[in-house]
Amino acid sequence: MASGKEQEQQGFKQAKCVKVHGPIIVGAGPSGLAAAACLSQQGVPSLILEKSDCIASLWQQRTYDRLKLHLPKQFCELPLLGFPANFPKYPTKSQFISYMESYASHFNIHPKFNQAVRKAEYDRVKGIWRVQTEHLEYHSRWLIAATGENAEPLIPQIVGYGKFKGTILHTSEYNSGSKFKNQRVLVIGCGNSGMEVSLDLCRHNAIPHMVVRNTVHVLPREMFGMSTFGVAMALLKWLPLRLVDKLLLLVANLTLGNTDQLGLKRPKTGPIELKNVTGKTPVLDVGALSQIKSGKIKVMEGVKEITKNGSVKFVDGQEREFESIILATGYKSNVPTWLEVSIISMEFLDLVLSYYESSILFCLGHMHRGQTPTNPFFSPCKKE
């Protein structure tokens, strides 16, 4: 009987081969579309392989209804084509999807859908990348991994997870709080998603309890009528990063008050420095903080376990019952599940450009920094 490795190799041999005369791009999200557009402007053809049946599948299939961009549209536009002028400062989910579809149409980008990449490895003998889907094997000298850092839901390990008698779902499955009216809902996670889901639950007359496991920076979305992010980017052109962090926190404390008193303790490291070092994004408040102050969103400490009777026990000793649990615990990259490159450390995936003779691997959308004017999509770095 053939081993798993031998079966994979047989699969490569049996798959129908397709030669691609430009880079293979894995992922039809914003990074993949941007890469294809930039290449086409230079006269370089490319092929996008997308596992779902649409572009920007995270936005189309795994985001909640009330979602809007947290940053002004000028900081979120893709290269070579901006948002329509009539779009608001913070485009809605449907507007962002419309922009993505218009972008693909404008640059004549036609991804191959329902093409989940099972394996990609470099053939040193032939000097090509072999990218295998269920029925086909694509060959190219170049491979661009553009599946992003939010490819798969991150599910935390909770003691007694299976004992909970109600509904447990990840925010990728959450659409609206309308289904949770009058329910006691535990939201695990206090990032931007956790805050927005808790706010949405409030507005649909649910009773949200939000778990805050770690320290978190909460900033106002706007300062003095301007985007907080825009203010920070402007100040960083003239002032040291840590001084900008101090100014942001000073204004945040004046406008939002002391969040430590609400159970939202701030990290010792400033928000921008923390983002650069760890990738952890500060929360931009869009209304959740006022609901926390009023007591409509209750802040809880970390979950210790789900007991045998299905109630939730917290690390501070409290024990409460809930009808539903929503996991606002983020996402993870899926690149390690299909990319066969032993020398790549995923800890430094954002910097990886591995040269194999004349062939190149690019990784886009893995920098944990989002899109900023100082963070271009292509940041090549030769790995000697």
Confidence check: pLDDT of 380 > 60: no
Does residue 381 lie in a domain region? no
Q: How far is CA 381 from the centre of its chain?
A: 23
Taking the CB of residue 91, how many other CB atoms lie within 10 A of it? 20
Does residue 30 lie in a domain region? yes
Does residue 379 lie in a domain region? no
* 24: β partners: 47, 143
Distances (CA, A) of 31 to 81, 89, 139: 14, 21, 21
pLDDT tens-digit map of 11-45: 555 568 999 999 999 999 999 999 999 999 999 99
Distance CA 98, CA 6 (A): 44
Does residue 218 lie in a domain region? yes
Token pair listed for 315: 């690390």
Q: Give the domain-ending residue among 331, 347, 378.
A: 331
Give the strand pairing for 331-332 and 24-26: unpaired
Does residue 15 lie in a domain region? yes
If asked whether residues 10 and 137 sit together in one domain, one would say yes
pTM of the shown model: 0.85
Does residue 374 lie in a domain region? no
pLDDT tens-digit map of 96-132: 999 999 999 999 999 999 999 999 998 888 989 999 9
Q: Whose CA is closest to 263, among 217, 290, 295, 300?
A: 300
Q: How far is CA 35 from the centre of its chain?
A: 18
DSSP 372: B
pLDDT of residue 10: 56
> Where in the sequence is the domain holding 342, given as residue range(s)?
4-151+333-363
pLDDT of residue 175: 94
Decide which of 296 and 360 is more confident. Answer: 296
If asked whether residues 139 and 250 sit together in one domain, one would say no
Helices (H), the chain: 4-14, 30-41, 57-61, 93-106, 192-203, 228-236, 241-256, 271-278, 288-294
Q: Whose CA is closest to 204, among 225, 175, 182?
A: 182
Does residue 162 lie in a domain region? yes
Q: Whose CA is closest to 360, among 151, 145, 147, 148?
A: 145
If asked whether residues 228 and 271 sit together in one domain, one would say yes
pLDDT classification of 238: cutoffs 50, 70, 90: very high
AA identity, residue 57:
S
If asked whether residues 210 and 184 sit together in one domain, one would say yes
**With the C-alpha atoms ordered 29, 34, 35, 41, is the resulting torsion angle positive or negative?**
positive
pLDDT tens-digit map of 128-174: 999 999 999 999 999 998 988 888 899 999 999 999 999 999 999 99
* 132: β partners: 119, 137
Give the strand pairing for 207-211 and 298-300: parallel
| Residues 47 and 112 sit within 8 Å (Cβ to Cβ) | yes
pLDDT tens-digit map of 55-68: 999 999 999 999 99
Distances (CA, A) of 59 to 30, 101, 151, 241, 350: 10, 12, 11, 32, 22
Round the CA-based radius of gyration of the chain to a whole number and report it: 23
Token pair listed for 367: 């920098």
Please provide the average confidence, as pLDDT, over all residues in the chain.
Answer: 86
Split into its structural domains, the chain has a count of 2
If asked whether residues 344 and 213 sit together in one domain, one would say no
pLDDT classification of 346: cutoffs 50, 70, 90: very low
What number is the average pLDDT over the span 197-222?
Answer: 96
Question: Domain of 160: which CATH number?
Answer: 3.50.50.60
What number is the average pLDDT over the span 229-237?
Answer: 93
pLDDT classification of 365: cutoffs 50, 70, 90: low
If asked whether residues 282 and 296 sit together in one domain, one would say yes
Distance CA 284, CA 249 (A): 12
Q: Collapsing DSSP states into helix, strand and coil, what is residue 94?
A: helix
If asked whether residues 85 and 185 sit together in one domain, one would say no
pLDDT of residue 267: 96
Which residues contact residue 275 at a Cβ distance below 8 angstroms, ignoring those fewer than 6 apart? Answer: 281, 282, 368, 369
If asked whether residues 39 and 134 sit together in one domain, one would say yes
Does residue 311 lie in a domain region? yes
If asked whether residues 163 and 176 sit together in one domain, one would say yes
pLDDT classification of 341: cutoffs 50, 70, 90: low
Distance CA 32, CA 17 (A): 22
Confidence check: pLDDT of 4 > 80: no
pLDDT tens-digit map of 42-99: 999 999 999 999 999 999 999 999 999 999 999 999 999 999 999 999 999 999 999 9
If asked whether residues 317 and 355 sit together in one domain, one would say no
Token pair listed for 112: 């191959």
If asked whether residues 104 and 192 sit together in one domain, one would say no
What number is the average pLDDT over the span 266-285?
Answer: 93
Confidence check: pLDDT of 368 > 90: no
If asked whether residues 178 and 323 sit together in one domain, one would say yes
CB-facing half-sphere around the CA of 344: CA atoms within 13 A:
23
Distances (CA, A) of 92 to 56, 113, 325: 14, 25, 26
pLDDT of residue 337: 87
